[in-house]
Structure formats: C-alpha cells, structure tokens
C-alpha cells in the first residue's frame, strides 16, 4: 500500500519549487512526476499526489485568504515558504478532501508532521495553531473519531539502508574551499547517496560525489556516522545509516546533476561556509571537518 505521508512530502516539495518558479499547473504536474520518480519510485500513488497538487494549486487564492484570517498577525510574505506551503496543503485536505478518505484530524496531523520534518524549530507549533483555529471554526468535525494507527516497528527491527556522503574540500591560492549542495527546502548540505551492495564506503563515496556534483575526490578519512529513520513506500520505516568522509578534490567547476531535491551547488571559502543554513544533523559533521582542516 502506498505511503501517503511520503506522497504528501513529494507534493510539498513540488509546491515549494513551483512557488519560486511561478509554474502553471501543467508544468507543476511535470515537476511532480520528476520528484515522484526521484523520491518515491514505485510508490504507485501518483494519482493521489496529482489530485492533491492540482487541488492545492487551483484553490491557492482561497487557501491564502483562509490563512490570512486564521493568522492575522502573520502576513503571507512573513510566513516561511515551507510553512506557507504546508498550510496550503493541509488546508486543502481539511477543507476540500473527502472526509471519509482523509478525516480532519489526519489532515491536520499530516501537516504538522510535514512542518516538523521540513520547517524550522517552531513550524510544527505554528501550523498546528493555524489549522487548529480553522478546525474549531468548522465545528471540530470528527472530534470523536478514533484514528487507527499502524503498529510501530521497533527501531532495532527496521531494515537498514547504507549511504555515504562527504565534506569535499579543495585548496586554491592558499585558501580552503568546501563544495556544498543546496536543497529546495532552503538548506545547504552535503552530497550523499546509497551504497551499491558489495561496494566499499570509500568506493561508494567517490562514485556518488562524481555522479552528483561532477568532482573527482580522494577520501582522506572518516568523519563519523549517523543514522535516522525515513519512510519507504514499500517497506515502511527504515533506518538510514550514513558514513561521512573528509575528501579532497581539485578546485574545478561543479556540475550539479539534474535531479529532484537539489537546486544549486557551490564552492565556499571555509570561513564563509560556517555562516550557512545547515540541517541540525549536518552541522556537527561540517564543524568536525572544519576543525580538522584548520588544524592541519
């Protein structure tokens, strides 16, 4: 069965991208198909995603009016882009979806989880407050409904997927630079990807960096490992275990692969990189790399 939370994540990503590109709905659907192929291959839930995307975009004007009324102290242009699109998506499901298929509480809870996953520290509370206000205005439909949740799989029983990534550095005219990628949710992060079975982490990271940003790297040392839980449309929740390397590259042009999720890649002076907007779990890895590069 398709994972609806993953499907909503793909729709959110598409809404976010289309807002910056001012896409027509037909173009938005093409972007959705690309993102679904990249982030939810084989999910079999494209009709649901397309219905959700088309509905949210076609009702955008009405949805924005509802947001303005529910959060009068927050003009639309002051709401973070991710939060703004989470609200549109959640409100569309809350106001226009078939409640037998998407109960009100499900629409609200899904939006809150998206905000927590992709927004800032206060995004979940903000989205909860706005949607909760609309929910009360609607008379709290389905208040007494009991949600049926899937049984949680214990962490140690989740399947594990192995990935590799790298803090890529180069020397140029006496300065040290870092090669970083930028995702469509507004964060600078590290290039990473899946290991092929039987592939060593060192071989894997060389391959992935070349594929994603076109750089020929030499892994120098391991920086550390981390693990997080993600949802797979077929297997459910899985543990993603990432090994990070410090890797050197010639200072050459970066060639970002045309794929969903990433919209930029650049070289940054080492001192400037620390001022960028990183995910919380990426920052310790970057800081460790910076410490090693500045003490050599």
pLDDT of residue 230: 67
Residues shown for the chain = 296
Residue 146 reports pLDDT greater than 50? no
| Residue 283 burial class via C-beta count within 10 angstroms: exposed 0-12, middle 13-18, buried 19 and up | middle
* Cα gap 192→209, rounded to integer Å: 7
Q: What is d(CA 12, CA 57) in angstroms, rounded to the nearest whole number?
A: 11
The per-residue pLDDT for range 16-32, each reduced to its tens digit, is 999 888 889 999 999 99
pLDDT band at 270 (very low <50, low <70, confident <90, very high): very high
In which band, very low, low, confident or very high, does the pLDDT at 258 lie, cut at 50, 70 and 90? confident
Can you tell me the distance from the alpha carbon of 276 to that of 102, in angstroms, rounded to the nearest whole number?
38
How many Å apart are CA 38 and CA 34, to the nearest integer? Answer: 6
Find how far residue 34's CA is from the centre of its chain: 15
* CA 216 – CA 157 distance, rounded (Å): 37
Tell me the domains of the chain and their CATH numbers. 4-137 (1.10.940.10), 155-295 (3.90.79.10)
- Please write the tens of the pLDDT for every residue from 175-221: 999 999 987 556 789 998 899 988 999 999 999 999 999 999 999 99
- Pinpoint the alpha helices (H) of the chain: 4-21, 25-39, 46-58, 60-70, 81-96, 104-118, 123-137, 201-213, 270-273, 283-295
The number of angstroms, rounded, from the C-alpha of 207 to the middle of its chain's C-alpha atoms is 23
The pTM for the full model equals 0.54
What is the rounded distance in angstroms from the CA atom of residue 10 to the CA atom of residue 5?
A: 9
Taking alpha carbons only, the member of 13, 23, 9 closest to residue 185 is 13
A 10 A CB-CB count for 197 gives 6
Identify the band that residue 46 occupies on the pLDDT scale cut at 50, 70 and 90: confident
User: Which DSSP string do the residues of 160-223 spell out, in sequence order?
Assistant: EEEEEEEEEEEEETTEEEEEEEEETTS-EE-EEEEPPTT--HHHHHHHHHHHHH----EEEEEE
Calculate the average pLDDT of the chain: 86
């Amino acid at each position: 069965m398709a994972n609806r939370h993953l499907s909503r994540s793909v729709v959110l990503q598409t809404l976010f991208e289309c807002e910056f590109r001012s896409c027509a709905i037909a173009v938005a659907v093409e972007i959705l198909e690309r993102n679904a192929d990249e982030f939810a291959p084989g999910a079999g839930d494209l009709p649901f995603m397309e219905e959700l995307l088309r509905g949210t975009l076609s009702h955008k004007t009405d949805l924005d009016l509802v947001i303005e009324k529910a959060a009068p102290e927050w003009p639309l242009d002051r709401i973070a882009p991710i939060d703004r699109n989470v609200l549109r998506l959640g409100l569309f499901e809350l106001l226009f979806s078939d409640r037998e298929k998407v109960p009100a509480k499900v629409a609200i809870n899904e939006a809150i989880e998206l905000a927590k996953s992709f927004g800032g520290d206060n995004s979940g509370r903000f989205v909860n407050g706005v949607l909760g206000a609309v929910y009360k205005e609607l008379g709290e439909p389905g208040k007494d409904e009991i949600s049926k949740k899937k049984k949680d799989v214990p962490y140690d029983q989740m399947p594990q997927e192995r990935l590799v990534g790298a803090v890529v550095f180069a020397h140029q005219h006496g300065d040290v630079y870092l090669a970083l990628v930028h995702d469509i949710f507004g964060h600078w992060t590290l290039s990473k990807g899946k290991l092929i079975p039987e592939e060593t982490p060192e071989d894997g990271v060389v391959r992935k960096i070349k594929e994603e940003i076109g750089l020929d790297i030499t892994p120098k040392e391991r920086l550390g490992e981390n693990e997080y839980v993600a949802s797979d449309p077929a297997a459910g929740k899985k543990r993603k275990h990432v090994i990070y390397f410090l890797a050197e590259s010639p200072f050459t042009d970066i060639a970002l692969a045309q794929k969903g999720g990433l919209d930029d890649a650049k070289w940054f002076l080492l001192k400037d990189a620390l001022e960028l907007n990183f995910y919380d779990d990426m920052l310790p890895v970057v800081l460790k790399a910076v410490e090693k590069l500045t003490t050599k």
